[in-house]
């Protein structure tokens, strides 16, 4: 559902089965990349890196193991986060006994900083 200046949704309504749920497309996000990935236990994604995009992985449900190019492995469960720089090779593995559901956000060009302002008449409230 979209309104003037906002969009709301639910990942279950963005698709089913395994793979990516296109959050950016469904919510019309234009400032950064964001998707949900659903992985079954025992699965593995491809080893990859990015040219410019730093990513943050948030585990919503289930467990994943994230493997880095330096050979390290880290088990992440619900509520866990990982930040990965663009040139760092990473590979995700589904672990545990249930599907893993991850929110992945990525972007480039740096942090905007604190730019929040109190709502007032100029903001339409």
Which residues, 6 or more positions from 79, have their beta carbon under 8 angstroms from its beta carbon?
A: 59
Q: Does 120 reside within a domain?
A: no
User: Any idea what the CATH number is for the domain that residue 105 is in?
Assistant: 2.60.120.10
Residue 69 belongs to some domain of the structure = yes
66-79 pLDDT, tens digit per residue, is 999 999 999 999 99
Instruction: Supply the pTM of this predicted model.
Output: 0.89
Share the mean pLDDT of the chain: 93
> pLDDT digit string (tens) for 2-44?
889 999 999 999 999 999 999 999 999 999 999 999 999 999 9
Of 85, 50, 88, 48, nearest in space to 70 by CA: 88
Instruction: Let me know if residue 117 belongs to a domain.
Output: no
Q: Is 73 a member of any domain?
A: yes
Distance CA 90, CA 88 (A): 6
Q: pLDDT band for position 122 (50/70/90)?
A: low
Q: How buried is 12 (Cβ within 10 angstroms: 0-12 exposed, 13-18 middle, 19+ buried)?
A: exposed
Residue-range definition of the domain harbouring residue 70: 31-110
Report if residue 22 sits inside a domain.
no
Confidence band for 124, pLDDT divided at 50, 70 and 90: low
- Whether 92 maps to a domain, the answer reads yes
Is residue 5 domain-resident? no
Position 125 pLDDT exceeds 70: no
Residue 9 lies inside a defined structural domain of this protein: no
CA atoms in the 13 A half-sphere facing the CB of 119: 2
How many independent structural domains does the chain possess? 1
Note the helical H segments in the chain.
Answer: 23-27
C-beta atoms surrounding 5 within 10 Å:
7
């Amino acid at each position: 559902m979209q309104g003037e200046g906002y969009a709301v949704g639910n990942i279950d309504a963005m698709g089913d089965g395994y793979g990516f749920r296109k959050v950016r497309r469904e919510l019309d996000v234009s400032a950064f990349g964001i998707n949900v990935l659903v992985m079954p236990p025992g699965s593995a994604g491809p080893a990859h890196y990015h040219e410019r995009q730093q990513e943050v992985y948030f585990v919503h449900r289930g467990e994943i193991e994230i493997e880095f190019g330096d050979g390290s492995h880290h088990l992440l469960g619900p509520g866990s986060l990982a930040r990965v720089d663009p040139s760092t090779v990473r590979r995700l593995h589904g672990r545990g006994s249930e599907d893993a559901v991850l929110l992945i956000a990525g972007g480039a060009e740096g942090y905007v900083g604190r730019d929040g302002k109190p709502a007032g008449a100029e903001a339409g409230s």
